Structure 1
């Protein structure tokens, strides 16, 4: 007697060709959704802001996957596939909303000899669609002092407060310094600094002038601010850059890609700074 006698699912064979066709169809639909969403984002401030909200929360997601999440479930906060949830003893609801993203698969060689990576469609579920919904932990709130301090540590150039400045903050590339006006409210201080730190990173990483990267730095500042619960009502996306309208999809995704990279660099440095300071405070309290 075989142990497989315990299975009672019938004798229907696994149709590998049918399974592959379904995956291919899912992948094709995902790419079409990305292109269609990009076309909407180029002309719609609401759609563009929605994408930024998602990319800000999922800063490690690729641009393509952030676009897919934005199009399917923009309110998502924590996404995992069925098996990963199950390994944590969390169960996906029977009628849970599916979110399709793309994950890297095999490397291949193109006709011109360059290397490429193929992608497979992957179904994931948000925590709100699982048994862990009631156990969702609220994000730890950081004080504005902690956030500003972390932003200073994330800056590639010194941040210097001054009395006489027309703008709330200004990155001067010639002096490689961010000047910050004294007397600002905490939120204006953080948002203004976030934009100028982004401009400085663009200058150092992409050799883009402050004027060239102005809107992208504005977007990064929005994502950083929304990530840490800073009020973003002052951000206006009703007028997107004129060149976005009709821009080639790959070029547009390239623009979003640099925003994601600058965001990731700033977020990573801010996180390290806050963890370091938290560790120092804990040691001080233990004394």
Structure 2
């Protein structure tokens, strides 16, 4: 199968020309990370919540909380002049409780199944490269790990089947491309996610909602990502093509499609 990076290049260029990157940075600067306790509180009160923020934060993003929406109660720290810290209850709202300006695409974990069994196929591909794949608990925010020393790949067991397949494609790319020193982490993450996107696309799994923002974050923006594609394009293309061709033999010839 012949693979090019044109699809990826066009998508990243759109982020630059449409001003989506600036919008993305504006949004990300206004969302904060929440503690595990607040994560539990949010999940109990609004199980489907994906992005939560206070009333005024939503207004600053040109969105308005829908009248009658029930606030999600969490706790926030209050620092006092004497250095002590107390906690108070504050109200936040999920994006589903708001209306207004469209927010730019931010990295969203993929949901759903793995329709062609890509994950299992990639496990076999990794095995052929003498890497053992396992699933287990990983720290929050870490979806996968690749160890060249132990020749192991670990995938978080908290991910959906679809995102597990994408993450394994990402970590397998690290296994192939980044075993030797000399590549910065930013370039390594950019290359691995670029390969993962192309591999997933070839098997009908669209990861744009996660991959494009991830790629541009590590590159520093869409313009920098385009420059990085010029520098790493052949490495990305050949690695994606190799993984797709090997996986295709394991999931069936009709499962994959050309990536143009």
TM-score calculated relative to the size of structure 1:
0.41
- Larger relative CO (CA 8 A, sep 6+): 1 or 2? 2
Q: Which has the larger radius of gyration?
A: 1
TM-score calculated relative to the size of structure 2:
0.45
